[in-house]
Amino acid sequence: MDFNFIQKFLPMYAEAARLTLIIGVIGIVLSAIIGLVCALVKYYRVPVARQIASAYIELSRNTPLIVQLFFLYFGLPKAGIVWSSEACGIIGLAFLGGSYMAESFLGGLRSVGRIQLESAESLGFRRLQTMRYIVVPQAATVSVPAICANIIFLLKETSVFSAVSLADLMYVAKDLIGMYYNTWEALLMLVAAYLVLILPISIVFTILERRLRRARN
């Protein structure tokens, strides 16, 4: 094990991890917004928009992220639309994650009994009041575990960003292996970097899920 190599290139991994985290967080936030909009559209059966949301969800879930990235980075420039690697990474992650988030939100919304909505309506609640005081609190306890799993899944999906020349963790690892052939050292730092990024989030989400489970019981 070449510890001099690790010491020399550790700052490069730290910078790549920072970039990966920033793009991942922005993409996940956007995917949550897209997912919530799609879930509400499907839940309230909005004409036309519901069909568009369903088509988007099927397209997004049934195509790999790397194909979506290739379309954004290599395909769209042929039509005169050019985006940076960072923008392609964010848009691709948001496009993929939006469909998974939509299903998670929709599962939570559908867990609320119809009789509760009818009771709220009979009591004079407006739609926004019903969402705030009845639907959201109950839906959250059902949706949170799935949303947490989606967040971890999307963070791991950032490993394909190197395919569009984004200098993320995977890109740095492949670059160093190709130049110096220190395969074990490069892979060790790659695994360590992803553990540092994902493991604390996974632990926090596990604790949150347990508390929500206890609250439901």
Task: Answer whether 15's CB lies under 8 Å from 166's CB.
Answer: no
pLDDT at 10: 87
pLDDT above 70: residue 20? yes
pLDDT above 80: residue 100? yes
CATH class of the domain whose range is 3-216: mainly alpha
Phi, psi angle pair for 12, to nearest 5°? -65, -40
pLDDT at 217: 59
